[in-house]
């Protein structure tokens, strides 16, 4: 290993307490020394700074798992093509990262620390650039897709059907990052809400989030005929191939979109496989796609769907309580394949419960869903230190 993980972890423990200052200094240094890079980044950098620190944290946490670290960095390198990241940009980023770490480390920064971080970043940059270069020349950095239709499914939610300009290969259960010319350089993740179709169309369920950058534009403004950009498909919360294990699929709110894609694939490829879907919403009005649920039930006789919708006044806590009650009533999920989709807090809570009920952690699948992105930003070093930040660069926890 060309770098010392122990030195990097000890150094990161110091700068983690100054995370906000570190990321602010990084971008200030990067743009002041390389002004030509500024147009590649969003105008608002608050979320960008959070994602940078989250990516650093994930890398540090995986230093002793070279296989998983390499897999993560390769995905990062491929995905960064849509940001127009080029090999010549990596040295500038590395210089600014080292400068920010040095600035925030104070007297704890030593020549040994700088050597370890420099060696680590050299490996990071090499893996990312090689992963991007390994893609075939014809492989796009992003896909253009036309909005073919939009359907208002709820007051704050639309179902968008997209028609990519070229084939978009993906697997049911994956998600896509999306950008609109109305909000340049802002990318947000959305679950693909269908299994692959003969006509190549894609379905997204988009809920408007107050204060969001992209979701209000998609829900209120984007109309049929407009073009959107799609990043490469991401995520591995897909059905295990050729498995005959019983399936549990739990969807909260618009997390139904990802679950719907898995159920469609199940109906097409494994109609004899037993599957149970728990569909939760904050209230009965929040269960916005029940007609589709009924159609899927008609197609798959081995599918069971249970809905959990509390009284309107109960809110999300009531829906979670109903899900917990249902799962506890089942009692044992040993050898079940489990897929969870919904708000990060819900996914984290149900994961803990299912593991306590015998589920194998390797068989519990969901998109990266730690509680990391908060508009109430941590104010103290202890809050930064205790906050779970194991997320990818583009993560499913962003609330927009």
* 91 Ramachandran zone, left/alpha/beta (phi>0; psi -120 to 50): alpha
Specify whether domain 5-137 bears CATH 3.90.1300.10.
no
| Confidence category of residue 175, pLDDT binned at 50, 70, 90 | very high
C-alpha to C-alpha distance for 320 and 323, rounded to whole angstroms: 5
> Does the structure show a pLDDT above 60 at 291?
yes
Summarize the confidence of residues 113-133 as an average pLDDT: 95
Domain with CATH 2.40.30.10 in the chain: 143-230
Q: Give residue 375's pLDDT band: very low, low, confident or very high (50, 70, 90).
A: very low
DSSP character string of 106-170 = GGG--HHHHHHHHHHHHHHHHHHHHHHHHS-TTS-SSEEEEEEEEEEEETTEEEEEEEESS----
Q: Is the pLDDT of residue 391 over 60?
A: no
Residue 396 has pLDDT above 80, yes or no: no
1 pLDDT band, cuts 50/70/90, is low
Residue span(s) of the chain under CATH 3.40.50.80 come to 247-365
CATH topology of domain 247-365: Rossmann fold (3.40.50)
Cα end-to-end span (Å), the chain: 39
> Residue 281 in 3-state DSSP?
coil
State the Cα–Cα distance between residues 79 and 73, nearest whole angstrom. Answer: 10
Q: Are 202 and 161 in contact (CB under 8 A)?
A: yes
CB 15 within 8 A of CB 22: yes
More confident residue, 328 or 211: 328
Phi, psi values for residue 154, rounded to 5°:
-155, 175
Least confident segment among 177-186, 238-247, 283-292, 305-314: 305-314
The domain made up of 143-230 has a fold known as Elongation Factor Tu (Ef-tu); domain 3 (2.40.30)
User: Closest Cα to residue 334, out of 357, 314, 304?
Assistant: 357
CA distance 40 to 84: 7
CA distances from 123 to 104, 198, 295 (A): 22, 41, 50
Distance separating alpha carbons of residues 38 and 285, to the nearest angstrom: 44
* Dihedral (CA of 120, 121, 123, 127) sign: positive
Q: Band the pLDDT of 312: cuts 50, 70, 90.
A: low
Residue-averaged pLDDT of the chain:
86
Return the minimum-mean-pLDDT range out of 52-61, 105-114, 165-174, 327-336: 52-61
Q: Tokens 């990312």 label which residue?
A: 128
Residues of the chain with CATH 1.10.490.10: 5-137
Question: Mean pLDDT across the stretch 194-199?
Answer: 97
Does the pTM exceed 0.85? Answer: no
DSSP 21-60: HHHHHHHHHHHHH-GGGGGGS-S--HHHHHHHHHHHHHHH
């Amino acid at each position: 290993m060309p770098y010392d993980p122990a030195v990097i972890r000890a150094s990161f423990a110091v700068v983690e307490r100054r995370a906000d200052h570190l990321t602010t200094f990084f971008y200030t240094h990067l743009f002041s020394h390389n002004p030509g890079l500024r147009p590649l980044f969003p105008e608002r950098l608050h979320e960008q700074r959070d994602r940078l620190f989250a990516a650093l944290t994930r890398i540090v946490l995986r230093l002793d798992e070279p296989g998983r670290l390499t897999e993560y960095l390769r995905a990062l390198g491929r995905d960064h093509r849509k940001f127009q990241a080029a090999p010549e940009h990596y040295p500038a980023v590395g210089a600014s990262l080292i400068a920010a770490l040095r600035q925030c480390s104070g007297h704890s920064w030593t020549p040994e620390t700088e050597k370890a971080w420099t060696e680590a970043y050299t490996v990071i940059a090499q893996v990312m650039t090689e992963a991007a270069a390994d893609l075939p020349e014809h492989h796009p950095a992003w896909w253009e897709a036309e909005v073919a239709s939009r359907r208002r499914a709820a007051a704050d939610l639309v179902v968008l059907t997209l028609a990519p300009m070229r084939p978009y290969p993906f697997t049911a259960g994956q998600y896509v990052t999306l950008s609109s010319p109305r909000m340049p350089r802002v990318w947000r993740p959305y679950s693909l809400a269908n299994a692959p179709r003969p006509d190549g169309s894609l379905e997204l369920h988009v809920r408007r989030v107050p204060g969001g950058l992209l979701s209000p534009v998609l829900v209120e403004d984007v109309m049929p005929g407009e073009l959107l950009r799609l990043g490469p498909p991401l995520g591995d919360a897909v059905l295990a191939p050729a498995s005959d294990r019983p399936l549990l699929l739990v969807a909260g709110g618009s997390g139904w979109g990802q679950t719907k894609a898995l159920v469609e694939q199940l109906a097409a490829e494994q109609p004899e496989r037993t599957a149970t879907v728990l569909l939760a919403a904050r209230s009965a009005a929040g269960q916005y796609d029940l007609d589709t649920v009924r159609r899927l039930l008609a197609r798959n006789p081995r599918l069971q769907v249970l809905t959990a919708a509390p009284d309107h006044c109960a809110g999300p806590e009531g829906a979670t309580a109903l899900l917990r009650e249902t799962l506890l009533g089942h009692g044992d999920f040993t050898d079940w394949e489990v897929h969870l989709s919904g708000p990060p807090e819900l996914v984290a809570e149900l994961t803990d419960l299912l593991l306590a009920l015998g589920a194998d952690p390797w068989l519990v699948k969901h998109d990266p869903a730690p509680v990391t992105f908060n508009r109430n930003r941590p104010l103290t070093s202890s809050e930064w230190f205790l906050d779970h930040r194991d997320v990818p660069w583009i993560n499913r926890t962003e609330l927009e």
